[in-house]
Chains A and B, each alone.
Chain A
Amino acid sequence: MENIWTIENLWNAIGTVLRNWLAGFLPAWLVTLIMDLLVIVVLLAIGIVAVLVLSFMERKVAARAGDRYGPNRWGPYGLLQPFADAIKMLIKEDIIPHVADRFSFNLAPVIVTVGAVMTYAVLPFGRDMVAANLNIGILYFAAVGSLSIIGLLTAGWGSRNKYALISAFRAVAQLITYEVPVGLCIICVVMLAGSLSTQDIVLAQQERGWFFLLMPGIFILYFLAASAEMIRCPFDLLEADSEIIAGHFIEYSGMKFALFFLAEYIHLFAGSAMMVTLFFGGWLGPWLPSWLWFLIKTFVVIFVFMWIRNTFPRIRIDQVLKIGWKVMVPAGLVGLAITGFVDKLIADKLIAGVVLFICNIGLIIGVSYLMGRAQRRKEMAAEGAALR
């Protein structure tokens, strides 16, 4: 009992001490209830803190990419800016359009936010630091993560605004399209790890090496599909400001808008954390405590998402769907086949890893070649049409 107070399991130690203190004067079922509620509160707090940090980070990264400073007036280096934003959101007037469907209009932000926060339950924040170590963790993540589509659809329908409705259509089309490659990539990881539990996947990477190194091709596929899932640029067609103004939250203001905002950044954090879990070894790492490693890796991935957002323009909705169905799903199927055969046929884990790596490089080159050939053919056809 004396060495529970290490930095490694600081949070677990706090939980244990609190549980023991409560067990002193409360019945067992009440202690369980209180502790479970406390975990929910902590997860919500992590979500809100993540939103505060990420909104600030997003603005700073965007500013630096555009040779500007970003917010730097309120607090040192503008660090208090997210709090000012939050206060502004809270005191804004809450407007409900007359023609809106009040029930679904008010329900939508709740569904979106709850669906986003629920994904936190299976994120392995550190060694033994997962709220619910489900044996179907990844499946739960994929299922609950797509719950927010219903919220977006509800918002688009309830607002009674054509832009919001277009955004809802796009949500269904795009998110369901990209659910498929995400699922295929996840199955590849699950086959190598031999488990659906997030903790087991991390531990499998301790044994076999980071899956990012084993399967770079699958990783790129997952990265692109996940950025479409998280509605990040260049796939943020749902909130394309230049076409459909702000998409599904065009009619929302005040706290409800803030909830959509919250859900967006919670999704970003959860998606990046899941990417770290699946491909970058989760909380594995030397010297530092495991939860710190997890946060560092997650923020590096989030930075890459923001970097991409500030580099590439948005692509069209038909291009999004075309890439999804014509490139990503076949590539995912091929990757799945490669992973399955290699994992089944080669028993030795090191050799299997090397073969998998080579096959993945081949996959990248092959997809790139085929896409380039299709592009060239299209250009030649256009030239021929012009000549005629």
Chain B
Amino acid sequence: MYGTGLLKGLSVTLRHMIGTFVTDIRKFPRRYFTDGNHPTRSPEPYLHGTFSIQYPEEKVPMWPRFRGPLVHLRDPETGQPRCTACGMCERACPHGCIKVEGEGKGKERKPTRYEYNVGRCIFCRQCVESCPFNAIELSRFYELACYDKDTIWDLPRLLELGDKEVITEQGQFWGET
């Protein structure tokens, strides 16, 4: 019968409308809230229900090879930064956004000052490739908006971010092996 296609279209939209409410009820208490940094939604598309991600409350996990800002890693045994201030990353950086100063000789050498200008960084990962000690890594952190132009991050901050953001375990860095 001519015109039944209209009813079919109406049924499709109605099913979608009802589907959003059904999924809302199913995950009722966790609709707007998340605990900590863990996302409640997987980025896979849903067949039914809303696909919106309520951004400040819900976050999409970044994929493993995402290039965020630079972070420093700790030696898991001693808890000290692995960096020996060799300066390879400083030399590899095409934008000159890394500045390293260190003291000591050989294995005792430690960085005294490590400045990373995230505002100039292009996330090319050259520094990570060049590091002989696997001391630095690119994080999956992406909320870089800030209220002032002071975008130079120092060593404690990089270490703190490294503790928080890098989920990969020791020896399982991407792109190596």
A residues neighboring B (CB under 8 Å): 61, 64-69, 72, 307-308, 310-312, 365, 368-369, 371-372, 375
Interface check B10, CB cutoff 8 A: yes
B53: min CB distance to chain A, Å:
10
Let me know if B2 and A372 touch, CB within 8 A. Answer: yes
Let me know if A68 and B52 touch, CB within 8 A. Answer: yes
Let me know if A64 and B16 touch, CB within 8 A. Answer: yes
Let me know if B13 and A371 touch, CB within 8 A. Answer: no
Contact partners of A311 in chain B: CB under 8 A: 9-10, 12-13
A67 touches which one: B1, B9, B16 (CB < 8 A)?
Answer: B16
Contact partners of A369 in chain B: CB under 8 A: 1-2
B155: min CB distance to chain A, Å:
39
Most chain B CB atoms below 10 A, which of A307, A311, A312:
A311
With A64-B21, A68-B50, A68-B52 as contacts: A371 and B10 at CB distance below 8 Å:
no
Contact partners of B20 in chain A: CB under 8 A: 64, 67-69
Q: What are 10 A-to-B residue pairs whose CB atoms are below 8 Å?
A: A64-B20, A67-B16, A67-B19, A67-B20, A67-B50, A69-B52, A311-B10, A368-B1, A369-B1, A372-B3
Let me know if B50 and A69 touch, CB within 8 A. Answer: yes
A298: min CB distance to chain B, Å:
19
Most chain B CB atoms below 10 A, which of A69, A312, A369:
A69
Contact partners of B6 in chain A: CB under 8 A: 312
Docked complex Cα distance between A368 and B152 (Å): 72
Total A-B contacts with CB atoms under 8 angstroms apart: 50
For the residues of B in contact with A, the DSSP-based class is: helix
Docked complex Cα distance between A340 and B14 (Å): 37
A312 touches which one: B2, B9, B21, B52 (CB < 8 A)?
Answer: B9
Contact partners of A310 in chain B: CB under 8 A: 13
B residues neighboring A (CB under 8 Å): 1-3, 6, 9-10, 12-14, 16-17, 19-21, 46, 49-52, 54
A362: min CB distance to chain B, Å:
13
Docked complex Cα distance between A307 and B20 (Å): 15
A371: min CB distance to chain B, Å:
5
A307 touches which one: B1, B2, B10, B54 (CB < 8 A)?
Answer: B10
Contact partners of A371 in chain B: CB under 8 A: 2-3
B172: min CB distance to chain A, Å:
37
A295: min CB distance to chain B, Å:
21
Let me know if A64 and B17 touch, CB within 8 A. Answer: yes
In the complex, residue of chain A having the shortest beta-carbon distance to the beta carbon of B12 = A311
Let me know if A69 and B54 touch, CB within 8 A. Answer: yes
Contact partners of A365 in chain B: CB under 8 A: 1
Contact partners of A65 in chain B: CB under 8 A: 13, 16-17
Docked complex Cα distance between A307 and B12 (Å): 11
Contact partners of B19 in chain A: CB under 8 A: 67
In the complex, residue of chain B having the shortest beta-carbon distance to the beta carbon of A312 = B9
A30: min CB distance to chain B, Å:
52
In the complex, residue of chain A having the shortest beta-carbon distance to the beta carbon of B45 = A67
Docked complex Cα distance between A72 and B31 (Å): 12
Contact partners of A375 in chain B: CB under 8 A: 2
B3: min CB distance to chain A, Å:
5
Contact partners of B54 in chain A: CB under 8 A: 69, 72
Most chain B CB atoms below 10 A, which of A67, A72, A368:
A67
Docked complex Cα distance between A371 and B4 (Å): 12
Contact partners of B46 in chain A: CB under 8 A: 67
Docked complex Cα distance between A64 and B49 (Å): 9
B28: min CB distance to chain A, Å:
13
With A312-B9, A368-B1, A372-B2 as contacts: A307 and B14 at CB distance below 8 Å:
yes
Docked complex Cα distance between A269 and B2 (Å): 30
A308 touches which one: B2, B10, B52 (CB < 8 A)?
Answer: B10
Docked complex Cα distance between A292 and B135 (Å): 70
Contact partners of B9 in chain A: CB under 8 A: 311-312
Contact partners of B10 in chain A: CB under 8 A: 307-308, 311
B153: min CB distance to chain A, Å:
32
Contact partners of A368 in chain B: CB under 8 A: 1-3
